[in-house]
Chain A
Amino acid sequence: MSLKGFIIRRTIYIVPVMLGITLMNFTLINVSPGDPVIVRLGLIHCDHDDCYNAAYNGEAIEMGLLDRDYYTIPWFKRYVSFVNDLLHFDLGKSWYYTQAGEGIPIAKIISDRAIYTVVLNVLAFFFSLLLATAIGVVSATRQNSFWDRSLTIAMLLGYSMPLFWLAKLLMLLSFQLFNFTGVANKDAFKTPLFLNPNFYKYLILPTLALTLGGLVFMARLVRSQLLEILRQDYITTAKAKGLDNRAVIYKHAFRNGLLPIVTIIGNSLPGLLAGSVMIESVFGWPGLGTVFLEGALFRDYPMMMATNTIFPLLFLVARLLTDITYVFIDPRIRY
């Protein structure tokens, strides 16, 4: 079977999985106790029911619940229209993020904010992969040396450090050294984005924190994988051929080590994404993570539904890419 066929098949397979996930989330939202309107109402003082009802209705109208007959249509029918909207790239309107008394379309919020998350994650992923490779190779080739031991211990300490706390410590350090906390306020990012020096200024610390977070995870992985592979017979063959250590490691060991590393990193992408949510929130970086966390704190159901659709989708696409990468690394895999 061709690679193209495989890609098409896997892409189509995403559809039922996504339907399953959205169905699960939608069901959870609808069976959960509590009324989101009341949460939004907060503590209002009403002497009699009419006042309360008026306030409740006003809030419900503002949230767009009455428009969609939230209270009259059974939830599974609403799910159908949710899927229908989803297919038109309509994710509904936010309850929390409002403008002129009306919810902002979530699709717009996400398309505005996605660039922040993407830049942060891509940079951090790139840096951590690079550094992790370097550290892993140093550790694995000089097993039990001073460098290996200290790097291993450092990686273990970093691995045990909660990521959000690592971010906080970075903040503290930067505050002590440069009097700069790295916490962005909302006005920091006025357009145009990529010409804005603030964008880069506030990017530094989140990137650093997220890089460290990914680094400690990947470096341990690279080290153990390389150690495993350096034990293999074909490494001995390569040495017996007269290759020097560099060629043995970078040509023979590395290409083989890549495979399990790609798998594990591909499978741990949700974890890395969760890390990005934490980091964004700590530094007030206005990406998807912050949007999601704020939305969750205020029970912004459409927003939660949307993020909980987007994140799995990203993950499934990433896993598809992982599988495609396999083909280029390992000749044994044919589709």
Chain B
Amino acid sequence: MSSTDSFIDKLHDKQQKKGLLADRIRTKEMGEDVILEIQNLKKFFDIPVPFETTWFMIAFVAAIVVFAFEQIVGLILIGSIIVLYFALPYVPPFNKRPRVAHLKAVDGITIQIKKGKIVGLVGESGCGKSTAAKTIIRLHEPTEGSVYFKGIDINRLTSDEMKEIRRHLQIVFQDPYASLNPRATAHDIIIEPFDIHGVASGDEASYRVLTLLKDVGLAPHHAYRYPHEFSGGQRQRLGIARALALEPDFIVMDEPVSNLDVSVRAAIIQLILYLQKKMGLTYLFIAHDLSLVKILCDEVNVMYLGKIMEAGTSDEIFESMMHPYTKALISAVPIADPTKRSKKIFLTGDIPTPINPPPGCKFQTRCPLVSDICRVDDPPAKWYTASHVAYCHNIEGGEENPDSYTQ
């Protein structure tokens, strides 16, 4: 571990020289063990909208016809045909050549993750949780914003440096079957990271594979089986073993249990918790199951349409939530206790699409507290404690500045 730490120090020095570093983190807050800081992360996708090509084409075709009738220079004609054919917007039957609209999957999120904590990121489908997860470990390039890992801006690293950093940042996917190469055995899958990074080879690698299998609760004789021969829970164990292979510091758990059956789910959760304790891991736990997040996470971020609505410690979010969306979300969760049938807050309408959303608060279309200002201005941050913040125009209390809570 010492060699990798020195690598990070080297990167740190390099970025400091260039003035890229988030100095605040390194100097002030490393003492508090901030392992990952996400600042104003945005990820937009370009999506196609129909593009009118008719006039463009008519102009070109007309030019060609003029050439043809006048028979001036054949070469010009032939050249322009080739240009026309290849340069014209391709018009396959149903996908017109796109003009671009932005799908704002992640629209500026800021999260601080402290070492050894489990930080939850919850939200409904289409709120950009998974995009956020992939952008954080740089599987997608962010449109804007930065991710600082131990103070290093990972989006500015070269591919070689990034490869080295990837040893510390890993991900576990939602669908345990899709995330395993169906043509590779468990052994092949877990040895892959050793192979890529040249950490270990031959017998040593195999030995480490078997140790990892044991760590995640699989038996040695599972090593030469293919993913389809495992049950859902065992597949997810394999996925976790692969993520653990390089001894990372930080793992993004992208809904690791939502595709599993109830009885298996608990076992995987226990494994995740056990590994965290044993290896001192830090998790970003992404989920839509609030009751799970409640018992699992130290801190929770509630996301809606690419924005953070409310963030705080688990207790703060679940016991003293402020944001109307959080309130509705939590009250909508069915509670597995028939004696506690709660009175629910029903949100009207559906989740709108994140394509070019209206200005102001993203939640305005469904919010029970909506007022005129919500349709114009972005909601301000209101801090209730040093860790608890909600973004809303119409809620009571709160401070503009979090620093008033720091000692």
**Known A76-B78, A84-B69, A333-B94: A9·B54 in contact at CB below 8 Å:** yes
Contacts of A12 in B (CB 8 A): 54, 57-58, 61
Main DSSP-derived SS at the B contact region: helix
Distance, CA A23 to CA B82, complexed state (A): 9
Stretch from B85-93, B300-308, B390-398 that touches the partner: B85-93
How many Å from the CB of A8 to the closest CB on chain B? 6
Does B71 belong to the interface (CB within 8 Å)? Answer: yes
B200 interface hit (Cβ, 8 Å): no
Is A1 an interface residue when CB atoms closer than 8 A count as contact? yes
A95 CA to B136 CA, complexed, in Å: 70
> Given known contacts A5-B54, A77-B71, A81-B71, is B78 in contact with A15 (CB within 8 Å)?
no
Judge whether A80 is part of the interface by a CB distance below 8 angstroms.
Answer: yes
Q: Are the C-beta atoms of B71 and A9 separated by less than 8 Å?
A: no
Contacts of B85 in A (CB 8 A): 16-17, 19-20
Contact B78–A84 (Cβ < 8 Å): no
How far is B91's CA from A15's CA once the two chains are assembled, in angstroms?
Answer: 13
* Total chain B interface residues with beta-carbon distance under 8 A: 26
Which residues of chain B are within 8 angstroms of A1 by Cβ–Cβ distance? 50, 52
B392 nearest CB across to chain A (Å) = 38
**A-B pairs under 8 A by CB, number:** 63
Q: How large is the interface on A (under 10, 10 to 19, 20 to 34, 35 or more residues)?
A: 20 to 34
Q: Is A13 an interface residue (CB 8 A)?
A: yes
- Output the nearest chain A residue to B78 by Cβ-Cβ distance: A76
Chain B nearest CB from A183 CB (Å) reads: 41
A23–B93 touching, CB < 8 Å: no
Is B64's CB within 8 Å of the partner chain A? yes
Instruction: List chain B residues, Cβ under 8 A from A23.
Output: 78, 81
B101 CB to closest chain A CB (Å) equals 16
Residues of A within 8 A of B77 (CB): 76, 79-80, 83
Is residue A87 contacting chain B, with contact meaning CB distance below 8 A? yes
User: In this complex, what residue of A is CB-closest to B67?
Assistant: A80
Say yes or no: B61 contacts A15, CB within 8 Å: yes
Max count, chain B CB within 10 A of own CB: residue among A5, A16, A323: A16
Q: Is the CB of B71 within 8 A of A16?
A: no
Cα separation A79 to B81 with both chains bound (whole Å): 12
A101 lies within 8 A of chain B by Cβ = no
- Say whether B376 faces chain A, with CB atoms less than 8 Å apart: no
Give chain A residues whose Cβ lies under 8 Å from the Cβ of B81: 16, 19-20, 23
Tell whether A80 pairs with B61 under 8 Å between CB atoms, given A5-B54, A16-B84.
no
Q: CA of A76 to CA of B75 in the docked complex: distance in angstroms? A: 7
What is the chain A residue whose CB lies nearest that of B91? A13
- A1-B52, A12-B54, A13-B57 given; A80·B93 CB < 8 A: no
Cβ distance A6 to chain B, nearest Cβ, rounded Å? 9
Q: Is there contact, CB below 8 Å, between B91 and A16?
A: no
Please determine whether B74 and A80 come into contact, CB atoms closer than 8 angstroms: yes
Is A74 among interface residues, defined by CB-CB distance under 8 A?
yes
Give bound CA distance, A333 to B69, whole Å. Answer: 39
Chain A residue with minimal CB distance to B90?
Answer: A13
Taking CB as reference atom, which chain B residue is nearest A83?
B68
The residue on B at minimum CB distance from A323 is: B93
B16 → chain A closest CB, angstroms: 54
Chain B residues lying within 8 Å of A74, measured Cβ to Cβ, are 74
Q: Which of B25-82 contact A (CB under 8 A)?
A: 50, 52-54, 57-58, 60-61, 64-65, 67-69, 71, 74-75, 77-78, 81-82
In chain A, residues 64-95, which have Cβ atoms closer than 8 Å to a Cβ of chain B?
74, 76-77, 79-81, 83-84, 87
Bound CA–CA A272/B85 (angstroms) = 27
Within 8 Å by CB of B68, from A5, A8, A84, A326, lies A84
Q: Please, which residues of chain B bring their CB within 8 A of the CB of A333? A: 94
Tell me the minimal C-beta distance from A22 to chain B in angstroms: 9
A113 at the interface (CB under 8 A from B): no
A253-B82 Cα distance, complex, nearest whole Å? 44
Among candidates A8, A13, A17, A84, residue contacting B71 with C-beta atoms closer than 8 Å? A84
| A79-B54 in contact (CB<8A) | no
Of B60, B67, B93, most buried by chain A (CB within 10 Å of CB) is B93
Establish whether residues A79 and B78, one from each chain, have CB atoms under 8 Å apart when the complex forms.
yes
Q: How far is B75's CA from A1's CA once the two chains are assembled, in angstroms?
A: 36
Smallest CB-CB A-B distances: 8 pairs: A76-B74, A77-B74, A80-B74, A19-B81, A16-B85, A20-B85, A16-B84, A83-B68
14 contacts across the A-B interface (CB closer than 8 A): A8-B54, A9-B53, A10-B91, A12-B61, A13-B57, A15-B61, A16-B81, A19-B84, A19-B85, A20-B82, A76-B77, A79-B77, A81-B71, A326-B93
| Extra inter-chain contacts (9) besides given A16-B81, A83-B68, A333-B94, CB under 8 Å | A1-B52, A12-B57, A16-B60, A19-B81, A19-B84, A23-B78, A74-B74, A76-B75, A80-B67
